[in-house]
Amino acid sequence: DFAAHIKKEEMADTLKFAVIAFVILPFLPNKGYGPYELFNPFLIWSMVVFVCGIGFVGYVLMKWKGEKGLELTALLGGLVSSTALTSNFAQKSKKKVNLSYALAVGVIIANGVMFIRLLLEIFALNPTLFVEIFPIFAILAGATALIAYILWKRGKKAKDSKVELGSPFALAPALKFAIIFTLALVLVKLGNIYFSSKGIYLVSFLSGLADADAITLSISQLAGGSVSLDVAKKSILIAALSNVASKGAIALWLGGSMFRK
């Protein structure tokens, strides 16, 4: 049924996404270039694919499930990149004001999934650190679940309206996000080079602005060795919270007025 009703524009956008994900990405070198190997073409383009992919999957699920598709997209987006999903949903909220509640719930769900994802990463690399940090992350995940539920209940009371979909493929916002992500990674690498372990909290904060996974994986490997468990726990928490703060800034900057509230 989906294939029978696909539009010409949707087919063209599907082919565009296939090109950036399965033609361009595999051929990009996965190594650093420039001073201190700051620029990794594969990593940067991966973020373009993530942002476009979240928007594309969200479009398909919305067409299939209506507003419920946003919640499914949020779960998937939280597993891949909650920052990319926040950017995508915030921009969507300006055009789809009637979906503001659902989009906000989606962003909060993605954040909750991020905390769970970080816990799984820590457990895989350092079970001892996992035990130390689990109570804090459980509280954070529980808080996001509670807030998402409250907003979801409010959204159900709002008047239902027909979901109108635009193009499933938007490359420009993905490219802008990739540029911001790259700049943040450059700051992290330079901070790590010039401050080393003495500036681990600063590096964690800067890293979290763009991506909490990289610093979480790095610190988990060092915890209990060159980095104490206490410092590791605080560093990962700083990275996670700075990531939430950066997504809050993205939501305020890119989102519509109802979505920002």
Tokens representing residue 128 in the block? 């001892």
Tokens representing residue 75 in the block? 């779960």
Hey, what's the torsion of the CAs at 209, 211, 217, 222, to 10 degrees?
Answer: -20
Amino acid at 21: A
Closest by CA position to 185, among listed 217, 219, 208, 216: 208
Residue 161's pLDDT is 44
Residue 162's pLDDT is 45
Q: Scanning the structure block, which residue is given the tokens 């980095």?
A: 227
Is residue 48 within 8 A of residue 175, CB to CB? The reply is yes
Q: What is the pLDDT of residues 67-124, one digit of tens each?
A: 566 677 777 766 667 777 788 788 888 877 777 888 888 888 888 888 988 898 899 8
Closest by CA position to 112, among listed 156, 65, 149, 87: 149
When the pLDDT of each residue in the chain is averaged and rounded to a whole number, the result is: 80
C-alpha radius of gyration, the chain, whole number? 19
| Range scoring the smallest mean pLDDT among 6-15, 155-164, 170-179, 235-244 | 155-164
Higher pLDDT, 147 or 74: 147
What does the pLDDT average to over 199-211? 82
Closest by CA position to 55, among listed 210, 208, 177, 185: 177
Residue 129's pLDDT is 94
Per-residue confidence band for 2, with pLDDT thresholds at 50, 70 and 90: low
Tokens representing residue 27 in the block? 């051929």
Q: What is the DSSP letter of 24?
A: I
